[in-house]
Amino acid sequence: MRNLFIFLLVLALLPACAPTATPMPTDLPATAAPTATTAPESGITGQVTIGPACPVVRIDQPCPDNPFQATLTVQTASGSQVTQFSTDENGNFRIALAPGDYILHPEAPDAMTRAQDVPFSVASGEFTTVNITYDNGLR
């Protein structure tokens, strides 16, 4: 009876010891931050800005765009949502994504502030830089 109990216990615990593999399809949900035990292998990084910052831009007086905190949506090439995230207060972001083709869709915070969708590709083991510039409508 004791040997049967030990056998059943070992049999029950055996699957917990087996290594598992995680597939990385192109529509795998992104993570906003890597886990403490693993570093992301691929994804996107970049900054969001907004401009123009001055009502009249002149060649002799530079007026760079300002950092902008925004909400961005990552979609597959066919338009399915993968993840949505917000940039930090300086407009910076770094998001882990599986290799594949995507579209970065900047969400419009109001009727005047707009930015264009940006298609991009992620290669295995690399972070692709994608920068977004919102037009604030200032003219």
Regarding pTM above 0.75, the answer is no
Q: What is the pLDDT of residues 16-35, one digit of tens each?
A: 444 433 333 344 444 444 44
Place of tokens 């995680």: 22
User: Is the CATH code 2.60.260.20 the one for domain 24-135?
Assistant: no
Q: What is the pLDDT of residues 44-95, one digit of tens each?
A: 999 999 998 887 767 787 888 999 999 999 999 999 999 999 999 999 999 9
Domain boundaries of the chain, sorted by first residue: 24-135
